[in-house]
Amino acid sequence: MKPAVFLDRDGVLNQEVGYIHRVEDLNLIPGVAQAVRRLNDRNLFCCLVTNQSGPARSYYGMDHVHALHQRLCNLLETEAGAVLDTLFVCPYLSPPEGGTNPEFARWSTWRKPNTGMLVAAAWEHDLDLSASFMVGDKATDIDMAHNAGCQGILVQTGYGSRVLSGDYQHHTRPDYIATDLADAVNWILTSGNRE
C-alpha cells in the first residue's frame, strides 16, 4: 500500500468563487500547479476529493462538473506539467440540506465529512490511509481526514481563515495549518522526510 495526498478542490486548488456556472471562471490559486508537480515528482499519489452539490441543487448537470474538472486538469498540466492521479466527486445532497434533483438528492457516505471517497480511493488504488494526508479549507475536510485515519491539513486560502476565526462551519483541530497548498506540500514532504 502507498500513501496519498488527498486534495479538496475549491479554495485549495482553484479560487473559491461559489458555484461555478461558467467553466472559464475556474482559475487556479497561484502556485498550486507547481505544488502538485512537487508531489508528482516525489511519486506521491494525488487524489481530488470534492463535494459538488451543484447537480443535487439543480444548478447544472454532471457534464458541467466534468467540464470544470477537465479545465482544472488542463490548467495544472499547462502551468507545471502537474497531474492528478484520480478524481472523486460527491454530487449528492440530502433534501433537508437543499437537494432537489431526484437523481442526486439523497444522503451519501461519500459526502464529507463522511469517509466514502477516501475509502473508495484506498480500495481502488491500494492506498494506506494511515500514512496519507488530506488538504482542505473547511472543517469538514479535516473531520473527514481524522474519521479516515489521515492527517488533516487546513489551508488558509478559500474558507480556511474563516474556519480558524470561527466564522465558518465549526472549530477543528488540523494536524497542520498551512498558508496555502505550497506550504502544505512543504510540510508533507518534510514530515515524512520525503524531500
78-88 average pLDDT score: 98
How open is the CA angle 192-193-195, to the nearest 5 degrees? 120
> Residue 55: CB partners within 8 Å, gap ≥ 6?
61, 62, 65, 91, 101, 103, 104
Whole-model pTM? 0.96
Active-site residue, 41 included: no
What is the enclosing helix (H) or strand (E) of 5? strand 4-7
Pick the closest to residue 9 from 90, 80, 93 (CA basis).
90
Say whether 86 counts as a known binding-site residue.
Answer: no
Chain-centre distance of CA 125, in angstroms?
A: 17
Give the DSSP per-residue string, 72-103. Answer: HHHHHHHHH----SEEEEE----GGGT---TT
* Residue type (1 letter), 92: Y
> Residue 128: CB partners within 8 Å, gap ≥ 6?
1, 2, 3, 4, 122
Say whether 194 counts as a known binding-site residue.
Answer: no
Active-site residue, 8 included: yes
List, for residues 106-155, the tens digit of each pLDDT value.
999 999 999 999 999 999 999 999 999 999 999 999 999 999 999 999 99
Domains of the chain plus CATH, in order, are: 4-190 (3.40.50.1000)
At residue 192, the pLDDT reads 57
Say whether 70 counts as a known binding-site residue.
Answer: no
List, for residues 174-187, the tens digit of each pLDDT value.
999 999 999 999 99
From the number of C-beta atoms within 10 Å of its C-beta (0-12, 13-18, 19+), residue 15 rates as middle
Query: Percent of the chain having pLDDT more than 70?
Result: 98
Q: Residue 195's pLDDT band (boundaries 50, 70, 90)? A: very low
Which of these is catalytic: 8, 141, 180, 183? Answer: 8
Higher-pLDDT residue of 172, 183: 183
Say whether 53 counts as a known binding-site residue.
Answer: yes
